[in-house]
Structure 1
């Protein structure tokens, strides 16, 4: 992996593969750039794929204090402006999908198209309370939350080896950083800004997602002028890992049309 130093002073590590129109891929909370490897394998013959370890994840620097989704989005903006030959297509899953929205809203000039996979766009009081409860639970240590997280993220038919990989990644995480990420996600509030997005956009849901329902993704798409909506049947929250060929096919078709 290689790195940039963001305007925050943090080093952001990233991997890049392939040649062609740029797609920036943003991973879920607690995971890392390698989350996207199966999708990258399917697309690197046509596109240049850039996948960072988000701040505090993988090999990237860990902030010393709390941070917001907007802080994380600024890291991604720095990455695109530095090595992404903007405008780039931006695609994120879960936390990564929240950041894809934040980047597109804050810096539309560097975004050619946006793909959001299994990510919400706002929190009501109950949702905020549930997210903060996850933040508090993480402080007991990653082993205390890993099994409930995996149950929420994967479908019953998920490959056991894939689940084991994600379990190992989560167990390597720092619980304080994990808690801070959930606190950042508690502040999610893009509902009022999605209507300002003017780049091509696509929302992808998974029918067996226990975290973000298809109806939430349909609502997100409906709020963005001209946005499209797709579903992956039988997959859970981490559809890029459970069904990478399906995600790659949808993302590749979108990216070719946009690029």
Structure 2
């Protein structure tokens, strides 16, 4: 995909670490981690397509996770090789696809609940594990069509964080998330439509820290079940009190785990 490069934040010096954020978020998600790592690492946190200050989601065409990786290429090149990849949710899915494309560039990965729902569809088309997120994405897209981005955001956030989470959120944060929901169909298409078979992930021989929350929805826990069996050098960390949005709701806990992992590799 031909496009201008993404906006990205940068801090520190040392081995490169590229941090990829979740849907309905931006590079600002990683400010705390950047502060924590910048004494030892060169940390780069880009905005994904349609997020923050990066180019808008292109109209009239299907966007894949590979397109997201292509957009990131200037950031990956700036990081130097080999670099670390850190990702949450959609960003963790992009990190996995980037690692498959050029595994020799990646030193290690720290991932919090990749949302590669295509793997659930491969295992059981239309199956129960993906039903909740499929319905949430469809409802959110219908709300966007009806001109109600706040309703779309409520459906999306309450699915990932628990009912009532949207109403408890500060208004300024609500406005940012609601504005991002115009991309919800694109997010779902990229995640459900990724063609990578599960067995391909067995070729990723770099160390992977795979973090999950015990309170997360069945969809992301289902993806974790598949990927943690496939990845050959995986370390699994389950946070008993966290959900899918753990890196946002409890950044210190998750960031400490990431920092320990990077220091070991």
Indicate whether the TM-score tops 0.5: yes
| Residue of structure 1 in register with 2:62 after alignment | 66
Deviations 1:166-201 (A, max 9, x none): 4232122261x3322222122134412110101111
RMSD of aligned residue pairs (Cα, Å):
2.7
Matched, 1:97 2:97: no
| Residue of structure 1 in register with 2:2 after alignment | 8
Q: Is residue 28–residue 94 contact of structure 1 (8 Å, CA) maintained in 2?
A: yes
Matched, 1:180 2:176: no
Matched, 1:28 2:22: yes
Q: Is residue 26–residue 51 contact of structure 1 (8 Å, CA) maintained in 2?
A: yes
Q: Is residue 158–residue 166 contact of structure 2 (8 Å, CA) maintained in 1?
A: no
Give 1:139 deviation, angstroms.
Answer: 3.4
Matched, 1:116 2:123: no
Deviations 1:222-246 (A, max 9, x none): 2011211001221121111111111
Equivalent in 131, 145, 150 of residue 139 of structure 1: 145
Aligned residue for 2:24, secondary structure, equals: coil
| Residue of structure 1 in register with 2:46 after alignment | 52
Give 1:58 deviation, angstroms.
Answer: 1.2
Distance 1:193 1:38 in 2: 33
Give 1:114 deviation, angstroms.
Answer: 1.4
Aligned residue for 2:7, secondary structure, equals: strand
| Residue of structure 1 in register with 2:83 after alignment | 88
Deviations 1:62-105 (A, max 9, x none): 22332111111222234202x11121100111100110110011
Between stretches 222-231 and 180-189, larger displacement belongs to 180-189
Aligned residue for 1:245, secondary structure, equals: helix
Matched, 1:224 2:231: yes
Give 1:59 deviation, angstroms.
Answer: 0.8
| Residue of structure 2 in register with 1:3 after alignment | none
Give 1:163 deviation, angstroms.
Answer: 6.2
Q: Which ranges in structure 2 are unaligned for 5 or more consecutive residues?
A: none
Q: Which ranges in structure 1 are unaligned for 5 or more consecutive residues?
A: 1-6
Deviations 1:112-139 (A, max 9, x none): 1112211234131323854762573343
Distance 2:218 2:13 in 1: 34
Distance 1:131 1:144 in 2: 11
Matched, 1:76 2:75: no
Higher helix share: 2
Aligned length: 250
Distance 1:179 1:75 in 2: 19
TM-score, scaled relative to structure 1: 0.85
